[in-house]
Chain A
Amino acid sequence: MALRTPVRTEDEPVGRTTRRDRRPRPSAAGARLWTWLTLPGTVWMSVFFIASLLLVAAISFGTTDQLGDPRFGTDLGNLKALADPAYRDVMVRSLGYALLTSVICLLIAYPVAYAVALHAGRLKNALIAAIVVPFFANYLVRMYGWSVLLSDDGPVLRVLRALGLADAHTKILNTGFGVIAGLVYGFVVFMIIPLYAAMERMDTSLIEAGRDLYGGPLRTFLYVTVPATRQGAAAGVVLVFLPAMGDFVSAQFMGGPNQIMIGNLIQDKFFEGQDWPLGSALTMALMAVLLLAMFGYLRRTRKDEAEATR
């Protein structure tokens, strides 16, 4: 070979060489750039999110000093306190409220998503925007408006009384129903969106086939539409359950002292009672319930996917 190249010296062997070991590879610079882009956000999240969650876990084993400031420790008292009937009842109630909220949202969202996705024609996009936009309006202001609407001499009860559906003693606020109404109002959009998306994807000829097979619209809905949108519904249940379980505003605005939820307890321990270790233990308990729910959901969807691909 008469070829001479500038980078090659005479005594270097021509031909087979392993360049990987001797020279920087051009793509290495690229990999470094991606690392530098990933690093700041990752460090930020590790410090301000992951570390702080670990701190909550650590403090839940701690105690308070005379000033009410938290101290680290290995005390199991806070976790034992969770079994105390007063706290246990609140946790059971929170779970019940959040589950009922999910069910009610499901019952509202199915007809709404169905009507918007399949029977709204050209209005479809406008209607879905009309559902999403109020969700971005201030949560407190919406909750406040809702509580005014449902108050003892508010418009809803006045209409119900005029129709003879309620008497002078009927209340919505300061009842469990009021709290659930608040949670439903706050989070129903999280149910509608995934259900709407699922119905959009659904093959509408399924419904027509269902009509032929089953006849009635209700039977078609139950045997065709519901199974076809099951994954959307499952996602919606999780998306509603998660924030509903941790909410404390609805119970404060719509409920009374007998309707408090776990979120109110946590808020109380941090702002009124100054028992941060116990508040941390309650937070851990809440997180545990939610992680269980999330785990169940993920297992469910995996199973569904596995069945779908079979």
Chain B
Amino acid sequence: MSATATTPRPRRRRRGSRRRPVFAIATTVVFFVLLYLPIAMVVLFSFNSQKSLTVFKGFSLRWYEAFFHDSVLLGSLGMSLEVSLVAMLGSVVLGVALALGLVRHKGRLGSYAGLIMMVPLITPEIVTGVASLLLFKGLGITLNSGTVMIAEITFSISYVTVILRSRVAALNPEVEEAAMDLGATRWQALRLVTLPALLPAILASAVLIFALVFDDFVLAYFTTGVDPQPLAVRIYSAIRFGVEPTINAVGTMMLAGSITLIGLALAIPRLFGRRGGLDLISGE
């Protein structure tokens, strides 16, 4: 056997090993078709002139018009934007501070914080939702946009921390020391040198969190009050209790929004002309 392995193969054989794997490529093509077809369906039928969800009758913007005249849906949109913004700011502030502290703090607090940061990542959203609902009820807090914000911040801190932690760990500690050597206090060094170095990653994770929170349904569903409700919760009710084609229009706009934001999150490091932003593939 080892004799065959060491014998030089004829050229034909080597070219054979670079042959395209037909089965894998065919599967990939089918995969991409099925991945995008449902999305394409939603987009297509959002422009349908008729109410049908299966037969395309002609192009129209009536469902978009309907959305912009629906005060309930507009109220939901406003609430979702508000919740996403607050959750983004809150989780980024807490998460960035935590990431910095976790990497630098060598005590027991640091290891405790590091541990509880990982739990939300392996907890299904429904469990987090149930837990938040019980806590708010137990504390006698009325469910409204505030409770959704708190729950979404809780859910997002881990993401921000995990993304930024590796970036903080990769920073050269001598850079912060250099700032202090040049007369900066530790806090000034953090503000003037460390945070600017982390800025691309911070912005990218902020955009990512905004998109995730805006699209999030499960947590919002468990923690929202009756009126207004976040857009995702409205969509859920609409799909469950009789579909209006307006949902296609809302869905299409949400798709466009999220894709833009994700594109932005991926592009931010490049805008800064350096690596060290968000790497969705290996960064986590």
* A contacting B, Cβ–Cβ less than 8 Å: yes
Q: Which residues of A contact B (CB under 8 A)?
A: 29-31, 33-42, 44-46, 48-53, 55-56, 59, 70, 108, 111-112, 114-116, 119, 128-134, 136-142, 144-146, 148-149, 151, 153-155, 185, 193, 196-197, 207-209, 211-213, 217, 242-243, 245-249, 252-253, 263, 266-267, 270, 276, 279-280, 283, 286-287, 290, 294
Please list 15 pairs of residues, one from A and one from B, whose beta carbons are closer than 8 Å in the complex, sorted by A's number: A45-B113, A49-B154, A53-B119, A55-B131, A70-B137, A111-B24, A119-B25, A134-B36, A144-B235, A151-B54, A212-B9, A249-B217, A263-B124, A276-B134, A286-B126
| B270 CB, min distance to chain A CBs, angstroms | 12
Q: Of B63-71, B81-89, B198-206, B256-264, which binds chain A? A: B256-264
- The verdict on A149 contacting B38 (CB below 8 Å), with A207-B17, A211-B16 known, is yes
Asked if residues A246 and B126 are in contact (CB atoms below 8 Å), the reply is: yes
How many residues of chain B have a CB within 8 Å of chain A?
99
Asked if residues B31 and A108 are in contact (CB atoms below 8 Å), the reply is: yes
Q: Which residues of B from 39 to 65 have beta carbons under 8 Å from A?
A: 39-42, 45, 53-54
Asked if residues A111 and B263 are in contact (CB atoms below 8 Å), the reply is: no
* B130 touches A (CB below 8 Å): yes
Residue of A nearest to B284 (CB): A193
Asked if residues B21 and A119 are in contact (CB atoms below 8 Å), the reply is: yes
- How far is A213 from B212 in the complex, measured between Cα atoms in Å? 47
Asked if residues A114 and B122 are in contact (CB atoms below 8 Å), the reply is: no
- How far is A27 from B215 in the complex, measured between Cα atoms in Å? 44
- How far is A41 from B109 in the complex, measured between Cα atoms in Å? 11
- The verdict on A137 contacting B4 (CB below 8 Å), with A41-B94, A112-B28 known, is no
Q: Which residues of B contact A (CB under 8 A)?
A: 1, 4-5, 9, 13-14, 16-17, 19-21, 23-25, 27-28, 31-32, 34-42, 45, 53-54, 94-95, 97-98, 100-102, 104-105, 107, 109-110, 112-113, 116-117, 119-120, 122-128, 130-135, 137-138, 150-151, 153-154, 157-158, 161, 186-187, 190, 211-212, 215, 217-218, 222, 232, 235-236, 239-240, 243, 247, 250-251, 254-255, 258-259, 261-263, 266, 280-282
